[in-house]
C-alpha cells in the first residue's frame, strides 16, 4: 500500500516513470472499457489516451488512494461518454414505448469468446451500446443513466430493452453459426 | 426494474469484470508526448509571467535609480515636514549631549565645522551647477556677515547658547527653525556660522541670511520679499508671525498635492475566459427540438431548427482547453484626489485578450468541404454554413482566440504611503464592452471566423469586472508621475449570454505602467 502511495506521489510530481508504471497497471483493463464504449480501435485508443491525460492531471485531487481503481474507471467512463456525446445527440435516442422486458431467460455467454462478445456490443447502435454498458456492466440504474445523459428514464429503459433484444438475437445467431460450423 | 437479480446482466457483468486488452505501445507514446507538451506550455506560461514581472521590476528599479541619483530625494528632504522631523531628531541628539565636543566637531554633522568662507564655498561647489547663482548669494551674504561682525563658529553649538546669547526668550518655533537651517546643511551646515553671535545682538543682521536659508527650505516664494528686506517686521525669523507664515507655507504645499491628473497607461498580462461547458448537454426538449431522427438514428442529418444555442450544445467541442496567452491594453486615465487619503480615477482603454484553444472537433459542410470551428456558427447561419456534421478528430487543433473590448474602469485608491513615492491600494469596477472574438487556426485547416457583438453572439455586449490592485507612484519633474500597478480582475457578471452553450466569467492578471501629468 505504501508503495502504491509512493507511485501516486510520483505521478503527482510528474515523474514519467511513475506515470508509466501506473499506466501499465491500469491501461489493459481500462482499454477494455474503452472498447465497450467505442466502435473502433482508434476510438478506443483516443478515449484511453484522453482518460490517462485527465487522470495524471487530476491525481492530486484524489482524496483516498484506496479508491484509485474506482476513480480511474469513473474517469474513463466519463471520458468515453463525453467522446460519444456529440454523436449521441446527432443520433438521438427516443422512447420506443410499450417495452416488454423479460428477465428470466437463460443466457450462456461462456459459449463465446471475449472478442466475440465485445464485437456484439460494439455492433449495437450507439445509444443502445452506451446504455447497455452503463446499465448491465457498470451497474447504473436507469434513473442515474437518465440524469447522466439528460434523457428520460423511459428512453433509457427502451434503449436498453432494444440493446438486450439485439444482443440476444446476435447470441442466437452466433450459437447457430457455431453449431453449423460444428456440424460441418 | 430490479437489475441485480437478472441473470442476463449478471452474466455480462461477470464476463467483463476482469477482462483486459493490452493497448498498443503507440498509445503511451501519444500520452507521453501530450504530457510533455502540456508541461512545456505550463513552463512557458510561468516564464512569461516571470518575464513580465522581471521587466516591470527592472523598469521600476531603473526609475528609482534615476530619481535617486539626482536632486530628487534632496528636494524631498528639504520639504518642511521632513526637515521638521529630522531637525527634531537631531535636536534630541544634541540635547542628550552626544557629539558635543566643543571643539572641532560639528554637533550635527559629526564633521569638522567649517571655519572659513573657502570651506563653505567648497561645500557649495559640491552642490549642482544649477545653484551657482545661489552660491554667489551665499558668498555675498557671508561677506556681509563678516562686515557685520558675524563670524563662523569653530566648534559645536549648544542650543542653550542661542537663547543666552540673544538675551531673550527664543520661541520654540525659532529654535526649530534654527534646526531646520542646520539641516539645509548639504550646502551650508548649521553651526558653521553662528548667526546668533552677533556681537551687537543686532537682529536686523540675521535676516540677511534668509534668502539663502529660506531657499534651502524651498519656501522663498512664499515669503514676501519686502519682509525679507525689512526684517523688523513680519519676516523676523524669531517671531511667531514668521513661523505662522512657515506653517502656512507647509499647508499650501500639502494642498498643492491635492490634484487632478490625466495620463496614459499600458497593461500586459494574462486573460482567462474561464469557459465552462458544464454538463454541456442538450436537455430532452432540446434534443427533440434538434433532432427528428428515428430510433435507429443511422446516417440522418438532423434538423437543427435553426436554434444555434441548442445546436451548439450538441456541437460543443468534445474536449476543449483554453490556455491564457499574452494580453494587452492601452488607454487614457484621469484621476482626482478627493481627500488626503483617497483618490478616484477612471478611464477608457482598448483591451485585446488572447487565449489559445485546443479542440478535437469541428463542424463541416461536406458538400463544399468547408471546415470551421464549432463557434463559427455564431457568425454564420446554419443554412449558409450548410453544416452537415460535427466531426471528432483524433488530432487536436490549437486555435488562436482573440477577444477585443473597450474597457472603462472606475476605481478608488487609498494611500498607504503618500510621499514622493506613493503606495496605494486600489479597488473598483471595470465595464468591458465586447467588440469581437476572432478565432483562427494557424494551420489553416479550419476557416477563421469573427464573432461580433450582437444578438447572434454568445457573448453579452458588456459585462462587469471587479478589480483589486496595488499601485506604486513615483513623482518626477514636479508635474509628472510614473505608476506601476499589478491588478487582478474577476468577472462579476457573466460574459456569456444566458442561453449560450457555455458559461464564461473571465479573470485576468495585469501589470499596468503609466505616466500621468499632474495639474496643480
**DSSP assignment of B287-344:** HHHH----SS--SPPPP-TT-HHHHHHHT--SS-EEEE-EEEEEEEEEEEE-SSSEEE
The C-alpha atoms of residue A116 and residue B333 are separated, in whole angstroms, by 72
Distance from CA of A65 to the nearest CA of B (A): 21
Provide the pLDDT for residue B299. 30
Reply yes or no on whether the pLDDT at B438 is more than 60. Answer: yes
Q: Which strand (E) or helix (H) includes residue B500? A: none
What tens digit of pLDDT does each residue of B477-518 get?
A: 888 899 999 999 999 999 988 877 778 889 899 999 999 998
Our CA angle for B140, B144, B148, nearest 5°, is: 170
What tens digit of pLDDT does each residue of B266-307 get?
A: 999 888 888 876 544 333 233 323 323 322 322 333 333 444
Provide the pLDDT for residue B235. 47
Chain B residue with the nearest C-alpha to that of A158: B295
| Out of A35, A52, A92, closest to residue B31 by CB | A52
Provide the pLDDT for residue B183. 40
Our CA angle for B322, B326, B330, nearest 5°, is: 125
The C-alpha atoms of residue A104 and residue B334 are separated, in whole angstroms, by 80
| Out of A49, A93, A106, closest to residue B27 by CB | A49
- Beta carbon pairs, A and B, within 8 Å: 158
The dihedral of CA B36, B37, B43, B46: what is its sign? negative
Q: What is the mean pLDDT of residues B166-170?
A: 46
Alpha helices in chain A (DSSP H): 2-12, 16-36, 41-58, 68-90, 114-122, 126-132, 142-149, 153-183
**Residues in chain A, total:** 184
Chain A residue with the nearest C-alpha to that of B37: A53
Q: Do B35 and A14 touch (CB under 8 A)?
A: yes
Mutate to test the interface with A, among B4, B39, B287, B304 (most CBs of A within 10 A): B287
Does residue A10 or residue A184 have the better pLDDT? A10
- A48 to chain B: which residues are within 8 Å by CB? 23, 27
Q: Please, what is the average pLDDT of chain B?
A: 67
Q: What is the mean pLDDT of residues B21-49?
A: 86
The C-alpha atoms of residue B178 and residue B182 are separated, in whole angstroms, by 6
Q: Which of residues 252-311 of B touch A (CB under 8 A)?
A: 279-284, 287-288, 290-291, 293-298, 300, 302
> Which has the minimum average pLDDT: A109-118, B372-381, B417-426?
B372-381
> Confidence band (pLDDT; 50, 70, 90) for A31?
very high
- A126 to chain B: which residues are within 8 Å by CB? 297
Q: What are phi and psi of B504, to 5 degrees?
A: -145, 125
ipTM, two decimals, is: 0.87
- B13 to chain A: which residues are within 8 Å by CB? 136-137, 139
Q: Which of residues 333-392 of B touch A (CB under 8 A)?
A: 361, 389-390, 392
Q: Do B11 and A107 touch (CB under 8 A)?
A: yes
**Neighbouring-strand partners of residue B391:** B362
Q: Do B13 and A31 touch (CB under 8 A)?
A: no
Q: Mapping DSSP to helix (H, G, I), strand (E, B) and coil, where does residue B116 land?
A: coil
Give the closest residue to B258 by CA, choosing from B341, B334, B337, B343: B337
Q: What is the mean pLDDT of residues B158-187?
A: 42
Query: Between β-strands B260-272 and B326-337, what pairing exists: parallel, antiparallel or unpaired?
Result: antiparallel
Reply yes or no on whether the pLDDT at A96 is more than 90. Answer: no
The four Cα atoms A65, A66, A70, A75 give a dihedral, to 10 degrees, of 0
- A73 to chain B: which residues are within 8 Å by CB? none
Amino acid at each position: 500500500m505504501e508503495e502504491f502511495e509512493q507511485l501516486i506521489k510520483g505521478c503527482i510530481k510528474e515523474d514519467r516513470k511513475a506515470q508509466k508504471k501506473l499506466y501499465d497497471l491500469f491501461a489493459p483493463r481500462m482499454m477494455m472499457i474503452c472498447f465497450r464504449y467505442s466502435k473502433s480501435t482508434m476510438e478506443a485508443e483516443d478515449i484511453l489516451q484522453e482518460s490517462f491525460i485527465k487522470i495524471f492531471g487530476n491525481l492530486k485531487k484524489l482524496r483516498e488512494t484506496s479508491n484509485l481503481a474506482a476513480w480511474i474507471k469513473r474517469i474513463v467512463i466519463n471520458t468515453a461518454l463525453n467522446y460519444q456525446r456529440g454523436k449521441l445527440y446527432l443520433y438521438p435516442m427516443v422512447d420506443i414505448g410499450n417495452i416488454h422486458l423479460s428477465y428470466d431467460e437463460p443466457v450462456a455467454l461462456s459459449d463465446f469468446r471475449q472478442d466475440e462478445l465485445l464485437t456484439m456490443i460494439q455492433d449495437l447502435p450507439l445509444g443502445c451500446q452506451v446504455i447497455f454498458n452503463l446499465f448491465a456492466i457498470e451497474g447504473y440504474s436507469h434513473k442515474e443513466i437518465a440524469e447522466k445523459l439528460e434523457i428520460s428514464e423511459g428512453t433509457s429503459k427502451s434503449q436498453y430493452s432494444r440493446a438486450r433484444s439485439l444482443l440476444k438475437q446476435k447470441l442466437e445467431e452466433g450459437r447457430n453459426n457455431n453449431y453449423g460450423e460444428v456440424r460441418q | 426494474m430490479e437489475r441485480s437479480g437478472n441473470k442476463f446482466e449478471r452474466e455480462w457483468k461477470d464476463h467483463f469484470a476482469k477482462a483486459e486488452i493490452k493497448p498498443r505501445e503507440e498509445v503511451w507514446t501519444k500520452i507521453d508526448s501530450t504530457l510533455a507538451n502540456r508541461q512545456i506550455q505550463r513552463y512557458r506560461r510561468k516564464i512569461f509571467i516571470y518575464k513580465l514581472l522581471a521587466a516591470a521590476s527592472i523598469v521600476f528599479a531603473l526609475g528609482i535609480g534615476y530619481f535617486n541619483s539626482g536632486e530628487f530625494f534632496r528636494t524631498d528632504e528639504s520639504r518642511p515636514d521632513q526637515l521638521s522631523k529630522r531637525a527634531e531628531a537631531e535636536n534630541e541628539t544634541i540635547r542628550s549631549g552626544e557629539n558635543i565636543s566643543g571643539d572641532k566637531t560639528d554637533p550635527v554633522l559629526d564633521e569638522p565645522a567649517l571655519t572659513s568662507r573657502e570651506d563653505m564655498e567648497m561645500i557649495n561647489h559640491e552642490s549642482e551647477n544649477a545653484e551657482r547663482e545661489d552660491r554667489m548669494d551665499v558668498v555675498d551674504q557671508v561677506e556681509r556677515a563678516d562686515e557685520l561682525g558675524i563670524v563662523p563658529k569653530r566648534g559645536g553649538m549648544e542650543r542653550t547658547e542661542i537663547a543666552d546669547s540673544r538675551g531673550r526668550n527664543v520661541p520654540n518655533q525659532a529654535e526649530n527653525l534654527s534646526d531646520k537651517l542646520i539641516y539645509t546643511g548639504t550646502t551650508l551646515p548649521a553651526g558653521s556660522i553662528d548667526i546668533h553671535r552677533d556681537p551687537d545682538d543686532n537682529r536686523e543682521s540675521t535676516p540677511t541670511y534668509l534668502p539663502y536659508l529660506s531657499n534651502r527650505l524651498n519656501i522663498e516664494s512664499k515669503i514676501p520679499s519686502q519682509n525679507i528686506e525689512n526684517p523688523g517686521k513680519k519676516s523676523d525669523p524669531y517671531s511667531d508671525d514668521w513661523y505662522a507664515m512657515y506653517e502656512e507655507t507647509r499647508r499650501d504645499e500639502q494642498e498643492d498635492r491635492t490634484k487632478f491628473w490625466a495620463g496614459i497607461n499600458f497593461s500586459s498580462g494574462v486573460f482567462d475566459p474561464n469557459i465552462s461547458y458544464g454538463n454541456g448537454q442538450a436537455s430532452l426538449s432540446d434534443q427533440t427540438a434538434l433532432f427528428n431522427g428515428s430510433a435507429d438514428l443511422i446516417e440522418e442529418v438532423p434538423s437543427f431548427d435553426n436554434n444555434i444555442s441548442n445546436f451548439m450544445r450538441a456541437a460543443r467541442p468534445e474536449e476543449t482547453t483554453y490556455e491564457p496567452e499574452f494580453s494587452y491594453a492601452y488607454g487614457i486615465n484621469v484621476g482626482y484626489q478627493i481627500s488626503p487619503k483617497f483618490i478616484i480615477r477612471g478611464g477608457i482603454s482598448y483591451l485585446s485578450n488572447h487565449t489559445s484553444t485546443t479542440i478535437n472537433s469541428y463542424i463541416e459542410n461536406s458538400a463544399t468541404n468547408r471546415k470551421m470551428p464549432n463557434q463559427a456558427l455564431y457568425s454564420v447561419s446554419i443554412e449558409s454554413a450548410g453544416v452537415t456534421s460535427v466531426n471528432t478528430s483524433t488530432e487536436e487543433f490549437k486555435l488562436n482566440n482573440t477577444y477585443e473590448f473597450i474597457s472603462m474602469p472606475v476605481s478608488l485608491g487609498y494611500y498607504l504611503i503618500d510621499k514622493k513615492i506613493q503606495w496605494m491600494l486600489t479597488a473598483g469596477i471595470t465595464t468591458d464592452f465586447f467588440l469581437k472574438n476572432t478565432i483562427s487556426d494557424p494551420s489553416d485547416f479550419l476557416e477563421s471566423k469573427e464573432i461580433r457583438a450582437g444578438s447572434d453572439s454568445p457573448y453579452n455586449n458588456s459585462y462587469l469586472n471587479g478589480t483589486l490592485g496595488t499601485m506604486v507612484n513615483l513623482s518626477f519633474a514636479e508635474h509628472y508621475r510614473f505608476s506601476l500597478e499589478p491588478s487582478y480582475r474577476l468577472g462579476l457578471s457573466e460574459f456569456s449570454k444566458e442561453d449560450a452553450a457555455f458559461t464564461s466569467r473571465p479573470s485576468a492578471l495585469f501589470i499596468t505602467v503609466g505616466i500621468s501629468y499632474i495639474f496643480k
